[in-house]
């Protein structure tokens, strides 16, 4: 459970300096997946995080709830419910927030071996873009149950 607390602290304080600490937090063969990326290895993960820091100014990551599954076969898993906020370059640096969940797996040493993010890219991002936003909102209304 200490690993989870350390990881939440790392995520909530994430900034450019944290990129250098990724090898301490993540296993060498970490698997990271979100709606836009599916990478393996610390260096690939650092590139994803560097791009995120480039695209999202005033980045704030807050974990609202977590559930720890305990140790099994030298691994443990946790679920995180979170909000990511910042100023997205694609929106002209306007404020942007998205809520999501993550499944995180830890090795026996407390390093993250897998981090899979789940969040609504269609409503959380695409629907806010100038060109495809109206189409995404129209499609959502058409598919909604009435």
| Model pLDDT for residues 19-74, shown as the tens digit of each residue | 999 999 999 999 999 988 999 999 999 999 999 999 999 999 999 999 998 776 77
- Angstrom distance (rounded) from CA 80 to CA 39: 20
Prediction pTM value: 0.81
Question: What pLDDT band is residue 119 in, cutting at 50, 70 and 90?
Answer: confident
Q: State both tokens at 17.
A: 């300096």
Phi and psi angles of residue 96, each rounded to the nearest 5 degrees, phi first: -145, 140
Give the fold, CATH level 3, of 2-119: Nuclear Transport Factor 2; Chain: A, (3.10.450)
CA dist 86 and 89 (Å) reads 9
Lookup: tokens for 51: 């791009």
Domains of the chain, by residue range, sit at 2-119
């Amino acid at each position: 459970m200490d690993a989870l607390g350390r990881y939440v602290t790392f995520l909530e304080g994430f900034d450019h300096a944290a990129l250098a600490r990724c090898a301490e937090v993540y296993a060498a063969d970490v698997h990271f997946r979100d709606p836009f990326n599916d990478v393996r290895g610390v260096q690939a993960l650092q590139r994803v995080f560097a791009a995120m820091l480039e695209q999202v100014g005033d980045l704030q990551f807050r974990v609202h709830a977590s559930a720890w599954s305990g140790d099994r076969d030298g691994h443990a898993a946790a679920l995180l419910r979170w909000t990511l906020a910042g100023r997205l370059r694609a929106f002209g640096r306007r404020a942007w927030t998205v809520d999501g969940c993550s499944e995180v797996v830890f090795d026996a040493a407390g390093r993250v071996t897998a981090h899979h993010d789940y969040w609504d890219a269609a409503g959380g991002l695409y629907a806010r873009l100038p060109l495809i936003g109206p189409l995404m909102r129209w499609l959502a209304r058409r598919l909604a149950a009435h």
